[in-house]
Amino acid sequence: MRIRDNKGFTLIELLIVVAIIGIIAAIAVPGLLSARRSGNEASAIGSLRAISSSQQAFASTCANGFYSSALTQLAIAPPTGGAPFISPDLGAADSVDKSGYTVVLAPGSDGAAATLDACNGVAAGSLISSWYATADPITPGSTGTRYFWVGTLGTIFADATGAIGSDVGTDDAPGGNPIQ
pLDDT single digits (tens) 12-29: 999 999 999 999 999 998
Distances in Å between the Cα of 18 and the Cα atoms of 13, 21, 30, 31, 42 are: 9, 5, 19, 20, 35
pLDDT band at 171 (very low <50, low <70, confident <90, very high): very low
* Rama region for 123: left / alpha / beta (φ>0; ψ in -120 to 50; rest): beta
Instruction: Return the pLDDT at 2.
Output: 64
DSSP 8-state symbol, 136: E
Q: Which one has a higher pLDDT value, 115 or 108?
A: 108
Strand partners, 98: 101
Proportion of the chain above pLDDT 90, given as a percent: 42
Task: Give the chain's radius of gyration (CA, Å).
Answer: 25
SS3 105: strand
Which stretch of DSSP H or E encloses residue 21? Answer: helix 11-61
Pairing of strands 177-178, 95-98: unpaired
Distances in Å between the Cα of 7 and the Cα atoms of 3, 10, 44, 96 are: 12, 9, 55, 58
Q: What is the pTM of this model?
A: 0.79
Proportion of the chain above pLDDT 70, given as a percent: 81
Mean pLDDT of all residues belonging to the chain: 84
pLDDT tens digit sequence for 25-54: 999 988 899 999 999 999 999 999 999 999
